[in-house]
Chains A and B, each alone.
Chain A
Amino acid sequence: MSIEVCAGSFSYRRGTPILQDVSFSAESGEVVAILGSNGVGKTTLVKCLLGFLPWDGGVTRIDGRDLRKIRGRELWRRVAYVPQARAPVFSYRTEDLVLLGRSPYLGDFAMPGKRDRELALHAMELAGIPHLAGKRCDQISGGELQLVLIARALAAEPEYLVLDEPESGLDFRNQIVVLDLIERLCREQNITAVVNTHYPDHAMRISNQALLLFGNGVHLFGRTKQILTAEHMRAAFGVDIAIRSEPVNGREYAAVIPLELIEKGEHGRWIEP
């Protein structure tokens, strides 16, 4: 049970690769965090990973099978995607939006049945939002919408969750709500998650492994602790960083403290990793 990218490369324009030879994998129940500064290719990576954009080279594999060879509806029963929370043009009721998560099980002309509705409600319970049923998407907060989108992904009963900046734009509490949910799903439902995030603290909190993108195709992948060091992040983000660790109730909580901006080096990069 694994999702992996082997030597993935992608460029929007010929000759300027944004991703080059990216390889990483996540085993069952693991969380992989993808980090990097704005515009470095995190969202592009997610799009390539899921086949929304075609890899120029390399391949995404689900349990060893080439993702492109898996039929659409089978693939999306196993892999669910949680986009950045943006309210849809038409404000559906939350439970109807979650019900759309059952789509991979339904043919083009099929209607969701009683079982689909039950599973959608169950997904809302898993995401901790049964109380939002009956509300329209334009009547709930951004944090609640993000949870609705996660519930929609869960309605497909997936083995893999790919989340694009799920906690961006949320308040302090809602960030933790989302992070705890992802952690709990991986632990209890044995779901494997790939999470794009802007926050190293969040990656340290929930991920087993991390992929750090430096730009121009340079990247590092490994155990989160070994990848998200002050030195690496300085090079990736152009900020001097201190990391402090605080044990509370037997659990280590890491805090990443940004200190000072640093100037770009001669190659337009901060420091070679």
Chain B
Amino acid sequence: MDQRRKFAVWMLVMLAAIVVFSVLALCMGQFHIEPARVFEELFGARRALAAQDNVRTVLHNIRIPRILMALIAGAGLSASGAAFQSLFANPLATPDTLGVANGASFGAALGILLGGGAAEVQLLALLFGLAAVALVYAVTRGAGAQNPSMLMMILAGMVISSLFSALVSLVKYVADPQDVLPVITFWLLGSFSGITRSSMLLGAPLILVGTVLIFLLRFRLNALSLSEDEARSLGVNLKRVRAMVVAAAAMTTAAIVSACGVIGWVGLLIPHIARMLFGNDNRYVVPASIGAGALFMLLVDTLARCMNAAEVPVSILTAIIGAPVFILLLRRTGGLRT
């Protein structure tokens, strides 16, 4: 089938799946809600008349924010992963390559240690996530190279990342093992269980702006993945476009990690699934990653919520589900298409 048709069909299927599963996810959980009630709450004209009850509270304050967050986090992580893979011309790049995740983790751990509230912890995590990337930028610039190579940036990212990882360990070491340490540990595992309306509203705008920016830059990402001179000879303003991609992905990832902790795998797995389906052209990879990432995260989070009375951290499930799915796809499509 023609590539563009195939892409359009897949995107429609994914969109439909997202809508259907979102509604299903709204009904499911420890507290079951009838589909009719969900529709009524979502679209009903009489909703203003209905009394404030448990169902409404659960839907509006817990489930809707959580599902929305899962959708945009999945989309954002996948888009950032795809963007970094092209930016660094490296199929193994992930949204964490520049140390955002560890930076944000440190910020959150510090916030918890200092006894901050949810919003303070989230803001501190966001701040340190962005600071980590800024530090990577500064290190690469200060190295004397006028045009720091992308390899150098990856190396700087690894260094800064392990620095923050050590700082996280330090915070955990000094944290009270009775009450503070478990909170930090659970936070670091990554889960949507703590998402509230306010934490969603705090993180979502940054994630959306970053993801949209990556989406808009998708054709440029193809040129970025070529050698530096080639990209420049295609009229690409490397400094500007690279800065935009780094800023967009860093903003997205930092906002996600600060709201729901570290969720691995998605940023690597989903873009490669998109590559296997549509080839490496980022005009397809980026939108397909956004769609598939949102869907994947929604499914995994719903599973995390409903599997057991005690919730399973979503980051554990992404790996447990992601790895076999990935291997299956690898075998069926005959290898990584890079």
A232 at the interface (CB under 8 A from B): no
Please tell me if the beta carbons of A90 and B223 are within 8 angstroms of each other in the complex.
no
Q: How far, in Å, is A187 (CB) from chain B's closest CB?
A: 24
Q: Which residues of B contact A103 (CB under 8 A)?
A: 219-220, 223, 234-236
Please tell me if the beta carbons of A92 and B222 are within 8 angstroms of each other in the complex.
yes
Please tell me if the beta carbons of B244 and A76 are within 8 angstroms of each other in the complex.
no
Known: A52-B228, A89-B89, A90-B91. 11 other contacts (CB 8 A): A47-B229, A72-B235, A75-B235, A90-B86, A90-B225, A100-B222, A101-B234, A103-B234, A108-B217, A108-B240, A112-B219
Jot down 19 A-B pairs with beta carbons below 8 A, ordered by A: A72-B232, A72-B235, A72-B237, A76-B234, A76-B235, A79-B233, A81-B229, A83-B227, A86-B227, A88-B89, A89-B90, A90-B89, A90-B91, A92-B281, A100-B226, A100-B234, A103-B236, A108-B237, A136-B279
A242 to B241, CA, bound (A): 52
Q: Total interface residues on A, using CB and 8 Å?
A: 32
CB nearest neighbor in A for B241: A108
CB nearest neighbor in B for A51: B232
Selected from A50, A90, A136, the residue in CB contact (under 8 A) with B233 is A50
Q: Which residues of A contact B240 (CB under 8 A)?
A: 108
A75 to B232, CA, bound (A): 11
Q: How far, in Å, is A154 (CB) from chain B's closest CB?
A: 13
Chain B positions within 8 Å of A, measured between CB atoms, are 85-86, 89-91, 216-220, 222-223, 225-230, 232-237, 240-241, 244, 275, 279-281, 283, 337-338
A122 at the interface (CB under 8 A from B): no
Instruction: State whether A108 and B279 are in contact (beta carbons under 8 Å apart), knowing that A83-B229, A100-B234 are contacts in the complex.
Output: no
Please tell me if the beta carbons of B338 and A91 are within 8 angstroms of each other in the complex.
yes
CB nearest neighbor in A for B220: A108
**Residue with the highest number of chain B CB atoms closer than 10 Å, among A47, A50, A72, A110:** A72
Instruction: State whether A111 and B281 are in contact (beta carbons under 8 Å apart), knowing that A50-B233, A90-B89, A104-B234 are contacts in the complex.
Output: no
Please tell me if the beta carbons of B280 and A90 are within 8 angstroms of each other in the complex.
yes
A100 to B219, CA, bound (A): 8
Please tell me if the beta carbons of B219 and A110 are within 8 angstroms of each other in the complex.
yes
A80 at the interface (CB under 8 A from B): yes
A257 at the interface (CB under 8 A from B): no
A65 to B94, CA, bound (A): 43
A96 at the interface (CB under 8 A from B): yes
Binary contact readout A98-114 vs B (1 if CB under 8 angstroms, 0 otherwise): 00110111101111100
A77 at the interface (CB under 8 A from B): yes
Please tell me if the beta carbons of A90 and B244 are within 8 angstroms of each other in the complex.
no
CB nearest neighbor in B for A54: B146
Enumerate the 5 nearest inter-chain pairs by beta-carbon distance, A residue then B residue, closest first.
A104-B235, A81-B233, A76-B235, A90-B280, A103-B234
Please tell me if the beta carbons of B233 and A111 are within 8 angstroms of each other in the complex.
no
Please tell me if the beta carbons of B234 and A93 are within 8 angstroms of each other in the complex.
no
Q: Which residues of A contact B228 (CB under 8 A)?
A: 52
